[in-house]
Amino acid sequence: MKGLYLSNRFYWVLSGIIALFFMGYGIRVCFELAQIFLALLGVLFIIDFVLLYYPKYHLKAQREIPELMNLGDNNAIKIRLFSTYPFKLMVDIVDEIPFQFQDRSFELSTVLAAHGMVNFDYELHPNERGEYHFGVINLFVHSPINLAKRRIKSGKPEIGKVFPSVSQMKKYEILALARISTLDGVKKIRRIGHNYEFDQIKNYVVGDDTRSINWKATGKRNQLMVNQYQDERSQAVYVYIDKSRSMEMRFDGMRYLDYAVNSALVMLNIALKKHDRAGLVTFSNKVGASIKADRSKIQLKRILEQLYREKPSEKEANYDLMMRITRKMLNGRSLILLYTNFESIHALERQLPYLKRLNKMHMIVVIFFEDKEIENFSQSEITDEASIYQRIIAGKYVSTKRKMQNILAKHRIQTILTTPENLSIDSLNKYLELKARGLI
């Protein structure tokens, strides 16, 4: 019979009967007892089989997957069991979770009452964007007799889509817009400057700033006219993401690229909430996404869908191509948050001329990564000769990152050197700081 298995109890009882046969060799009473027990085992097995396979009894399972699974977060998967069996069931649940998780020991167990229903929750933590294919749900069922076990395949294959973390985006949105923080690292910034854009020319009234008098209009109208300005609220904020092989490095199972993708969604959402225009550019040896800065209601959806599709490249980044797309897309002065990763001074120096030219036309913030594990290792205790060399190499790596930051600062290029887990916090703080100081 398809899906039929023998339980451990069946094998234990059978082993005892076989032992009784051997023990009763030459002893008629023991031999007869073994025959009786074997016959009883067969009868109970048939009863158990009939109970499990009776056509009017059913056991079904349903799986619920979030419409959008969040990259780098715990995502709750729900399973519901429904039983029409008139007796208690013991159920082992083996869900066919996506291969990306490489978990071959996933199993849940429960006791289901007669005509009962039970809900299960478990969590999955995806480290890559894209489609995750779930298979069927395998239910291994046995009755209180527990001699036979039936496998029931329930549910249906489904696809879960892992997008950049919308939950992180909402969390940082609350922190930034409320200007309060319960999370270490998010700072409140006092606004100390303003940007202004022209609104209209109007008649002068007592109290108007005399520095705003428009002498040309005054001469034409033969009365004092002043320029009226309003706070400039709609500024272009672009996130540039380097997709080259330098962003393939991983921390805690996730690529640097995926940390940048999550942070980009956070930053561009905050920019839209702050009434700025948000845009996106991704590049490696060729341009990927190129979404022009806009404030439309569907802009965030465009950005989210594009970030979902972005794939890493094994090629080196072409900064000359990045400069060309910048000249083509960006008309006025904009804020550019560039997520990248430099592994050596030489790698930075090759791209430095492009960064300097870009910084003359726009306000650029270069965001790159430091490895906290290597930094901690560089300060660890020396135990043997090998650890001396390892500490020296780790220390050199840390000092190289600091030197890169100093080189960029020397050319008046804003920088953020941060760990992957603090990427969104530090990027958000920098944006709010530049906004408050009126530098953008």
Q: What is the pLDDT of residues 14-68, one digit of tens each?
A: 787 777 677 655 566 676 777 788 888 888 888 888 888 888 899 999 999 999 9
Q: Which CATH architecture has domain 59-163?
A: Sandwich (2.60)
List the structure tokens of 144: 């209180």
Task: Tell me which residue has tokens 């009763």.
Answer: 24
Closest to 40 in 3D by CA, of 60, 67, 57, 20: 20
The pLDDT value given to residue 398: 77
What is the enclosing helix (H) or strand (E) of 71? none
Residue pLDDT, tens place only, 56-83: 899 999 999 999 999 999 999 999 999 9
pLDDT in tens, 276-330: 999 999 999 999 989 999 999 899 999 999 999 999 898 999 999 999 999 999 9
Mean pLDDT of 423-434: 90
Residue 174: partners with Cβ closer than 8 Å, 6 or more residues away: none
Convert 145-154 to b/e letters by CB count within 10 Å (16 or more is b): bebbbbebeb
Distance CA 318, CA 264 (A): 20
- Dump the DSSP string for 148-207: EEEEEEES--EEEEEES-HHHHHHHHHHHHHT--SSTT----------EEEEEEEE--TT
Of 170, 415, 164, 419, nearest in space to 270 by CA:
170
Contact indicator for 302, 291 with CB cutoff of 8 Å: yes
Fold: same for 59-163 and 166-187+233-436: no
Looking at the domain 166-187+233-436, which fold is it? Rossmann fold (3.40.50)
Domain layout of the chain by residue ranges: 4-53, 59-163, 166-187+233-436, 196-231
Burial category of 17 from C-beta neighbours within 10 Å (exposed 0-12, middle 13-18, buried 19 and up): middle
Q: Rounded to an integer, what distance in angstroms lies between the CA atom of residue 90 and that of residue 390?
A: 54
Q: Would you say the C-alpha torsion 41, 46, 48, 49 has a positive or negative sign?
A: positive
Q: What is the model's pLDDT at position 171?
A: 87
Q: What's the pTM?
A: 0.79
Measured between alpha carbons, how far is 211 from 228 in angstroms, rounded to an integer? 11
Look at residues 356, 360, 366 and name the one whose alpha carbon lies nearest to residue 416: 366
Residue 179 in this model has a pLDDT that exceeds 70: no
**Which distant-in-sequence residues (6+ apart) come within 8 Å of 273 by Cβ?**
173, 176, 177
- What is the pLDDT at residue 185? 55
Per DSSP bridges, beta strands 89-95 and 137-142 are: antiparallel
Is residue 161 very low, low, confident or very high in pLDDT (cuts 50, 70, 90)? Answer: very high
pLDDT, residue 109, reads 87
Nearest to 302 by CA among 195, 164, 428: 164
Per-residue pLDDT of 90-138, as tens digits, reads 999 999 999 888 777 778 888 899 998 999 899 999 999 999 999 999 9
